[in-house]
Amino acid sequence: MFTGIIEELGLVRSIERRGEGVRIVIAANTVSASSSEGDSISVNGVCLTALDVRRDSFSADGSRETLDRSTLGRLRPGSRVNLERAVTPTTRLGGHIVQGHVDARGAFVGATDHVGSWTVRIAYPPEVSRYLVFKGSIAVEGISLTIADLTDEYFDIAVIPKTWEVTNLSQLHAGDDVNLEVDVIAKYVERIMSRTLPDDWGDTLTIEKLAELGFE
């Protein structure tokens, strides 16, 4: 599990095809220094297992499922990637709960410079729309961000200078794919409610109906 607070901007050294998957070697100092073989590291929002950990690099394998669902299949030597080590029981939860399990790919529409801060616009696919809310959390490329504006086709996020500096958002171009992970709590609530609500209630949920179920 992660918090979406990026610790380091890594550099892809090499990518080797291995059957239907890949072996990625990433140059990194901060996350490599205190990681061991088998530790989880978030790479652009994808939870990967660290292998061959060295002082200034680590390797990770990506399966076909990972390559199909995320943007890791589009990485090339020289690509910059957002890195975060897994949380510990004493970690401050500075962002939100991020699993490193990509739900969908969105598209970078563009960024507006407000002289020191930026508004970044991300287009998203219909299948994640029900999990997005104004001022809610969303992980983009593994970064914990807050939705500042929301339409049926895109959402905007406000990016402070520090986030712009230490992540790969500043290197995206219009049309580039980005990894999206919605708030896992929203998915659990949806699942629970779908198993709890009587069939004759339809899609309308009211305070009175919630009270009948014991949500008071």
What's the token pair of residue 84? 């975060």
Residue 202 above 60 pLDDT?
no
Angle, CA 147 vertex, CA 75 and CA 6 arms, to 5°:
45
- Residue for token digits 């309308």? 204
CA atoms of 25 and 15, how far apart (whole Å): 6
Residue 32 — pLDDT band, cuts 50, 70, 90? very high
Confidence (pLDDT) at 40: 96
Residue 90 — pLDDT band, cuts 50, 70, 90? confident
C-alpha count within 13 angstroms, C-beta hemisphere, residue 87? 17
Residue 204 above 90 pLDDT?
no
Question: What CATH number belongs to 104-188?
Answer: 2.40.30.20
CA atoms of 125 and 71, how far apart (whole Å): 15
CA gyration radius for the chain? 19
Asked, colleague to colleague, whether 8-85 and 104-188 share their fold, the answer is yes
Specify the fold of 8-85.
Answer: Elongation Factor Tu (Ef-tu); domain 3 (2.40.30)
For the chain, counts of helices (H) and of strands (E): 5, 13
Residue 114 above 70 pLDDT?
yes
Domains of the chain: which residue ranges? 8-85, 104-188
How many other CB atoms are found less than 10 A from the CB of residue 42?
Answer: 30
